[in-house]
Structure 1
Amino acid sequence: MQITQLRNATIIVHTRHHHVLVDPMLAPRGALPPLRVFDGKRQRNPLVDLPEGTEALLDQVTHCLITHCQKGHFDHLDRAGKRFLRERQIPIICSAHDARYLRSRGLNVQPLPAGAGPHPFLGGSIETVVCTHGRGLVGALMEHGVGFFLDLPGEPTLYISGDTVLTEQVRSVVIARQPAICVVPAGGARFDLGGEIIMGPPDVIALARLARGTVMANHLEALSHCAPTRAQVLALAQANALGGRILAPADGQTLHFNTVEACHAA
């Protein structure tokens, strides 16, 4: 298995025969609205362009996973992402909750049935894990979505957490299932008011202490409401003797997972 970090939460999971795009935000730099307005900056998003070589990578895509997409969550599916998926009629795997919304945009939707338990996917299985996209008042206004646990033949198990804070449910999945790879947000996103709506660097450390596999941190350095940097995540990992298991790939970087236990970066 290989995983390419494109930008923010947008990744491509490469297996032997398939290339699975996750949460495509494909707009050029500055094409989307600010996410903080009272900090004096009013930075438009995304803060950076897609990396060189993105078009060739997108040409390989065979499937797409959407963790959440409603209530203005353009950082996981924007207009450019919808256009790409619609023009190519890429099969989209999503929660039953998002199916009607995505179908109304002309997309090729293959929703997972409601309810717990694994479902067939690419010769193996896929299972949803509930997300908690913030707590309190700000959490009540958010679209909470799902994460995905993938168990594919001949590949390391993969948990894509989606946008979530570190909940007991997330902890339980990591402890009980021990995925070989966890892809989690580390940007500690917060709006002008309220607390963090996704994991920040300390949460990534806490999750990595529960996991025996590799933790890949993303949702970094691409949006105006995410302050932590890759360097901060990696420094904290080193300080906690977890530098070998926590990765924060640059945009355009591909991680190669050759075994359940090890990986290297290209």
Structure 2
Amino acid sequence: MHITHLRNATVLLEFSSQGRPVGLLVDPMLAPRGTLPALRYLGKGRERNPIVDLPPGTDAALERVTHALITHCQRGHFDHLDSAGKRFLRERQIPVICMPRDAAYLAQRGLVVLPLSGPERQPFALGGHVTPVACVHGRGWIARFMEHGHGYLLELPGQPSVYLAGDTLLTPAVRDCLARLRPDVAVLPAGGARFDVGAEILMDAADMAQAAALTPGTLVVNHLQALDHCPTTREAVRALAQQGGWDHRLWVPEDGERRRFLPTDTAVCY
């Protein structure tokens, strides 16, 4: 399997299914830099989003897309599916895999929808099985305004198991997935996102250290340095991993970086 990190939560998983190449695009935010609203309103950190361009090679990567997977998309969560992402999926009639809650919302926007059956482990449209894992995208009063969504554990024939966490805090459900289901690769959000008021709504660098203690697999960290309300830097995560001795199991990709993962959870740069 190859994983290409495009920007923020947008990644491309490439693998073979029944002898055919699959390009699974996760949470496409494809808008140009600075064309989406700011997510902070006070202080000097406010900036229109996304705060970086899509990387070189994005067009070539998008040409390899055959399917899409959405973790959440309602209540204004443009950082996981924006207008440009919807247009791309609609114009190319890309089948979109999602939870039942999002099916009608996506279909109303002209997308080809393949809803999962519910929150239980189930056969996956691309082979193997998928297990949805509930997200908690903030606690307290701020949680009332958030779309919590689901992450997904993908168990594909002949491929490393991959857990795509989505937007979540380090909850008991996330801990259980890491410790009990033991994915070979876990793609986790470490941006430490927060608005001008309220607590964090996303994991941060310290949570990555806790996650590393729960699973022997490789951690791939995203949600970094692409949105104005995510203060965690790549350097901070790498430094913490080096201090804790788990940097050999960590990949903090730059935008546009691609890496190959084997079923033995050994990562090889491509």
Task: Tell me the residue number matched to 1:170.
Answer: 174
Within 5 A, what are the aligned runs for 1:122-161?
A: 122-161=126-165
Q: Please, what is the CA RMSD of the aligned residues?
A: 0.9
Identity %: 52
**Matching residue of 1:5:** 5
The code of the aligned residue for 1:150 comes to: L
Written as runs of structure 1 = structure 2, the 5 A alignment for 1:41-120 is: 41-120=45-124
Q: Deviations over 1:77-107 (max 9, x none)?
A: 0000000000001000000000110001000
Work out the CA distance in 2 between the residues paired with 1:115 and 1:24: 22
The amino acid that maps onto 2:223 is H
Residue identity opposite 1:9 in structure 2: A
Partner residue of 1:241 out of 233, 239, 245: 245
Amino acid at match of 1:200: D
Contact map agreement 2:220 2:253 (CA 8 A) in 1: yes
Query: Aligned partners of 2:46, 2:169: CA distance in 1, in Å?
Result: 25
SS class of match (1:126)? strand
Provide the rounded CA distance (Å) in 2 between the counterparts of 1:115 and 1:203: 25
1:20 aligns with 2:24: yes
CA contact (8 A) 1:69 1:98 kept: yes
Paired residue type of 2:12: I
Q: Which amino acid aligns with 1:199?
A: M
Q: How far apart, CA to CA, are the structure 1 residues paired with 2:44 and 2:64?
A: 41
Question: Deviation of residue 263 (structure 1)?
Answer: 0.5
Distance in 1 (alpha carbons) for counterparts of 2:115 and 2:30: 22
**Alpha-carbon shift at residue 41 of structure 1 (Å):** 4.2
Report the CA distance between 1:139 and its aligned residue. Answer: 1.3
Whole-Å separation in 2 of the counterparts to 1:163 and 1:191: 14
Report the alpha carbon displacement of residue 247 of structure 1 after superposing the two structures with TM. 1.2
Structure 1 unaligned segments of length 5 or more: list them: none
- Contact persistence 2:161–2:263 (CA under 8 A): no
Question: Does residue 1:252 correspond to 2:259, yes or no?
Answer: no
2:198 corresponding residue in structure 1: 194
Q: Indicate yes or no: 2:236 matched with 1:265.
A: no
**Greater mean alpha carbon deviation, residues 205-214 or residues 32-41:** 32-41
Structure 1: how far apart are the matches of 2:125 and 2:108? 24
State the Cα deviation string for residues 133-165 of structure 1 (Å, max 9, x = none).
011111121000000110111100000000000
Where 2:115 maps in the other structure, the secondary structure is coil
Q: How many residues align?
A: 266
Q: CA contact under 8 A between 2:26 and 2:69: conserved in structure 1?
A: yes
Q: Give the TM-score, by structure 1 length.
A: 0.98
- State the one-letter code of the partner of 2:177: V
Q: CA deviation at 1:265?
A: 2.6
The residue aligned with 1:229 is 233
CA drift of 1:126 comes to 1.4
Three-state SS of the structure 2 residue aligned to 1:204 is: helix
Q: Deviation of residue 123 (structure 1)? A: 1.9
Per-residue deviation, 1:119 = 2.5
User: Letter of the aligned partner of 1:257 in structure 2?
Assistant: F
